[in-house]
Amino acid sequence: MFYRRSTLVLLLALIFLSFFGTLSLSAWMFPDNYDWRYRVISSLLSPRDNPRHYWLAASGLALTAVLMLPFAEHLRRHLQSIAPRMAKMSAAAFTVGIVALISACFVVPQHVHETFEIRRLHELLGRTAAGCFAVAMLCGCWCAWNGRAQNSTAATLFWIWSLVTVLPLIGLLGSEALLLLTRLEPWWAGSIRNALRHSVFWHLGFWEWTGAVAIFAFFCAAVFLMPSQANVKS
């Protein structure tokens, strides 16, 4: 199915409203002072932490995931003329990530009771979604890199996509690596933790919101920089 640019622009606006709008409203009505730099998005979806308005955040996030589905096909159609397999992999990864994200919205964030014999199913689904989105965006970067010699648009896409993909990944992986080191080697990594524990770069919440902005920017670049007509490779 071919989506016109005007349709995709409308979807972008709806994604912005459904994600940033509903989550911001839910954060504003959060019982405690919600600081996006330090608290994870799952706090907004938790009946324990946000008993009155968790449904608002969950509904907005699920709607956002549904609205993202057409972009997977949009990217596949435009990138398959450069690298068919990588384009299909990118679309598939986006689709799996979207399904995992929708599922995470219906699983209560908690650590007490098991769901399908999994203690932290919500966290597992959230990490699966994040990992799939990262793979999909990296595949898109690879396609743009291979197509840069054909036209300047692909080169521009590569630099923009790389910026919004690689930098957040480096920050997130670096933060997770330091956190793991403090648990495995506390005797020498403790000083690192003490130095960074009050920094926003140490907290997962900061990187979750940064990643959300990065995905939105990735889609914006795909809509406004890619040609209106896809060059479909037979």
Token pair in block for residue 73: 């096909």
Length of the chain in residues, anyone? 234
| Domain membership flag for residue 122 | yes
Q: With 70 as the cut, is the pLDDT of residue 195 above it?
A: no
pLDDT at 133: 96
CB 225 within 8 A of CB 157: yes
Mean pLDDT over all residues of the chain? 85
Instruction: Report CA Rg, the chain.
Output: 19
Mean pLDDT of the 1-19 span: 87
Q: With 80 as the cut, is the pLDDT of residue 127 above it?
A: yes
Mean pLDDT of the 97-120 span: 74
| Domain membership flag for residue 169 | yes
pLDDT at 203: 77
Q: With 50 as the cut, is the pLDDT of residue 136 above it?
A: yes
Distance CA 27, CA 37 (A): 12
Amino acid found at 121? L
| Domain membership flag for residue 234 | no
Mean pLDDT of the 186-204 span: 67
pLDDT at 139: 96
| Domain membership flag for residue 44 | yes
pLDDT at 230: 54
Q: With 80 as the cut, is the pLDDT of residue 15 above it?
A: yes
Q: In this predicted model, what pLDDT tens digit does every residue of 48-61 receive, in sequence order?
A: 889 889 999 999 99
CB 70 within 8 A of CB 8: yes
Higher pLDDT, 131 or 195: 131
Token pair in block for residue 143: 């396609």
CA angle 214, 12, 93 (to 5 degrees): 55
Cα distance between the two ends of the chain: 15
Q: How far is CA 22 from CA 29, 58, 63, 134, 176, in A?
A: 11, 9, 10, 24, 28
pLDDT at 87: 94
CB 46 within 8 A of CB 110: yes
pLDDT at 95: 97
Which percentage of the chain shows pLDDT scores above 90? 52
pLDDT at 107: 83
Higher pLDDT, 63 or 208: 63
pLDDT-based confidence at 186, cuts 50/70/90? Answer: low
Token pair in block for residue 229: 């007509």
Residue of 130, 64, 45 lying closest to 93 (CA atoms): 130
| Domain membership flag for residue 83 | yes
Distance CA 227, CA 191 (A): 51
Taking residue 163's Cβ as centre, other Cβ atoms within 10 Å add up to: 15
* Coarse DSSP helix, strand, coil percentages of the chain, rounded to the nearest 5 percent: 75, 0, 25
pLDDT at 32: 82
| Domain membership flag for residue 230 | no
Higher pLDDT, 171 or 227: 171
Q: In this predicted model, what pLDDT tens digit does every residue of 65-85 receive, in sequence order?
A: 999 999 999 999 989 988 899
| Domain membership flag for residue 34 | yes
Distance CA 102, CA 120 (A): 16
Phi-psi region of 117 (alpha: psi -120 to 50; beta: other; left: phi over 0): left
| Domain membership flag for residue 231 | no
DSSP class per residue in 12-29: HHHHHIIIIIHHHHHHHT
Identify the domain containing residue 15 by its residue range: 5-225
pLDDT at 1: 47
Our count of domains for the chain comes to: 1
Residue of 159, 171, 150, 60 lying closest to 105 (CA atoms): 60
